[in-house]
Structure 1
Amino acid sequence: MSRLPNLPPPVLLLINSRPAGQRHLFFPQPPPSASLFQLQSPDSQNPPPTMASSAAGNNGLPTYTAPSAPAWPSYKPPPPKHNPRRRRCLCACLLVTLAVLLALAITLLVLFLTVLKVRDPTTRLVSTRLAGVAPRLTFPAISLQLNVTLLLTVAVHNPNPASFTYDSGGHTDLTYRGAHVGDAEIDPGRIPSKGDGEVKLALTVQADRLAEDLAQLVADVESGSVAMEASTRIPGRVTILGLFKRHAVAYSDCSFVFGIAEMRVRSQQCHDRTKL
């Protein structure tokens, strides 16, 4: 191991190169051999502070020159890192949500096309009863009008999973051989879902209009039966699953044969339909 050379101690020399009161301090430089053992500062661009002579008027005192502060670099945040796992989770959640919504839409469509599809009800005239006869005489042209009131009971079967509620506004027209001979108003009511109900109405027959074709009427009465047609329109609303309500109109066109002796319907044929 080599031995360090003996370095002479630093000597402070005072040089009187100027008049009294103006003196400078000098530090002697170490010999060249000492540079081998000097530690190099990493910041070689910032030299240590030096002692400089003051300008005239500073009383000849030494001044200290501070080194300039290093410029701090501007901070730039790192770019956001994309997490592939998070992106996969978001894509999976989006696909699951779309699949659930699509399945729900298909389920509702199938229900409305099959289970919740509106089917036509069926009607059947159950009973007919004579309620009264009301003759009326008019002036100055003397004419005798005869109104016959019949109480009819119509059975209605509702095959739909939705109840049908009808308010006032239902009407029935009675025709005989193409001529309007009577009508009836239908009272409000309700027919349950997949159930049966009865519609009662008072049908007023204008006998004087029946007598317009007197020869044909007499022939029908002598045969013991009279053929007629009845057209019924009932506006209302259907309630599906107790939540969804839609307006609907029930139509019924019936052809029936009325027996004179027994005062009841002998045969009938009806065509029913529902319009939403």
Structure 2
Amino acid sequence: MASSAAGTLPTHTAPSSTSSKPPPTKDPRRRRCLCVCLLVTLAVLLALAITLLVLFLTVLKVRNPTTRLVSTRLAGVAPRLTFPAMSVQLNVTLLLTVAVHNPNPASFAYDTGGHTDLTYRGARVGDAEIDPGLIPSKGDGEVKLALTVQADRLAADLAQLVADVESGSVAMEASTRIPGRVTILGIFKRHAVAYSDCSFVFGVAEMAVRSQQCHDRTKL
């Protein structure tokens, strides 16, 4: 009996370290502050998005400029000799002045690359390069160009041209493309291309535009 009692070792269970510490509790004031900060940030972002949307739909909305052909003046006639056919052809140069109205709160600056094509009854008969310039915001400007009309291209429909001249008026079309930059509020700059397609009637007796109709558009 004594040996069995002596061989029995006492058992002892050590207390768990995790059970002795209470679970951490969250500070309700800190969580409330985080929620308030999150709501304020979301409100500011929403207000900023609404403001930008209103600006782009109103102030920053790009409207099409309008063009009007003001005057046409004969600058000169240049003969051209072609080989080997040894034929003489005439090129007529017209000085055109186009008035442009910019209704946008953004200036439009254009460098090189502006171009105008002249067509007569569907045939391309002349072209012109447009010099660099600037149209102010909500302002007016003038575009001057020297348009060269190649008489040999008119010869393909010479009979109709003679009939139009005898009637006193010649109907033509001018298509213009002007690439440039739009500056909004002096800060934002975007590339833009202004297009203008005009149909006009040229009076032979007065050597001026008698009537015209233009369709203008801008592509950003």
TM-score (norm 1): 0.70
Judged with a 3 Å threshold, the aligned counterparts in structure 2 of structure 1 residues 228 and 63 are, in CA distance, closer, same or farther, namely closer
1:62, CA displacement in angstroms? 35
Please give the alpha-carbon distance, in whole angstroms, between the structure 1 residues aligned to 2:184 and 2:96.
Answer: 30
Please give the alpha-carbon distance, in whole angstroms, between the structure 1 residues aligned to 2:84 and 2:12.
Answer: 140
Number of equivalent positions: 218
Equivalent pair of 1:177/1:228 in contact (CA under 8 Å):
yes
Judged with a 3 Å threshold, the aligned counterparts in structure 2 of structure 1 residues 54 and 64 are, in CA distance, closer, same or farther, namely farther
Judged with a 3 Å threshold, the aligned counterparts in structure 2 of structure 1 residues 67 and 239 are, in CA distance, closer, same or farther, namely closer
Please give the alpha-carbon distance, in whole angstroms, between the structure 2 residues aligned to 1:66 and 1:144.
Answer: 118
Judged with a 3 Å threshold, the aligned counterparts in structure 2 of structure 1 residues 128 and 53 are, in CA distance, closer, same or farther, namely closer
SS in structure 1 at match of 2:85: coil
1:86, CA displacement in angstroms? 2.6
Percent identity, aligned pairs only, is 92
CA-to-aligned-CA distance 1:4-43 (integer Å, 9 cap, x gap): xxxxxxxxxxxxxxxxxxxxxxxxxxxxxxxxxxxxxxxx
Judged with a 3 Å threshold, the aligned counterparts in structure 2 of structure 1 residues 141 and 55 are, in CA distance, closer, same or farther, namely closer
- Between 164-173 and 204-213, report the one with greater CA deviation: 204-213
1:90, CA displacement in angstroms? 2.1
Please give the alpha-carbon distance, in whole angstroms, between the structure 2 residues aligned to 1:176 and 1:99.
Answer: 60
CA-to-aligned-CA distance 1:148-181 (integer Å, 9 cap, x gap): 1111010011111111111100000001111111
CA-to-aligned-CA distance 1:52-101 (integer Å, 9 cap, x gap): 999999xx999999999xxxxx99799466x3123212211210111011
Judged with a 3 Å threshold, the aligned counterparts in structure 2 of structure 1 residues 182 and 76 are, in CA distance, closer, same or farther, namely same
Judged with a 3 Å threshold, the aligned counterparts in structure 2 of structure 1 residues 265 and 64 are, in CA distance, closer, same or farther, namely closer
Equivalent pair of 1:53/1:63 in contact (CA under 8 Å):
no
1:244, CA displacement in angstroms? 1.0
SS in structure 1 at match of 2:23: coil
Judged with a 3 Å threshold, the aligned counterparts in structure 2 of structure 1 residues 67 and 93 are, in CA distance, closer, same or farther, namely closer
Q: For residues 8-23 of structure 1, what are the structure 2 equivalents within 5 Å?
A: none
Higher-Rg structure is: 1
Judged with a 3 Å threshold, the aligned counterparts in structure 2 of structure 1 residues 67 and 266 are, in CA distance, closer, same or farther, namely closer
CA-to-aligned-CA distance 1:219-267 (integer Å, 9 cap, x gap): 1111111110000011111111111111111110000011111111000
Judged with a 3 Å threshold, the aligned counterparts in structure 2 of structure 1 residues 129 and 65 are, in CA distance, closer, same or farther, namely closer
SS in structure 1 at match of 2:91: strand
Q: Which has the higher helix share?
A: 2
> Are residues 1:76 and 2:21 paired?
yes
CA-to-aligned-CA distance 1:109-142 (integer Å, 9 cap, x gap): 1211222111111000011111111011222202
Please give the alpha-carbon distance, in whole angstroms, between the structure 2 residues aligned to 1:55 and 1:252.
Answer: 114
SS in structure 2 at match of 1:109: helix
Please give the alpha-carbon distance, in whole angstroms, between the structure 2 residues aligned to 1:137 and 1:203.
Answer: 20
Question: Structure 2 unaligned runs (5+)?
Answer: none
1:190, CA displacement in angstroms? 0.8
1:214, CA displacement in angstroms? 1.6
SS in structure 2 at match of 1:78: coil
Hey, what does 2:214 align to over in structure 1?
A: 270
Please give the alpha-carbon distance, in whole angstroms, between the structure 1 residues aligned to 2:164 and 2:75.
Answer: 22
Structure 1's consecutive aligned runs of 4 or more residues displaced over 2 angstroms after TM superposition are 51-57, 60-68, 74-81
Q: Which has the higher strand share?
A: 2
Please give the alpha-carbon distance, in whole angstroms, between the structure 1 residues aligned to 2:14 and 2:39.
Answer: 67
Judged with a 3 Å threshold, the aligned counterparts in structure 2 of structure 1 residues 88 and 209 are, in CA distance, closer, same or farther, namely same
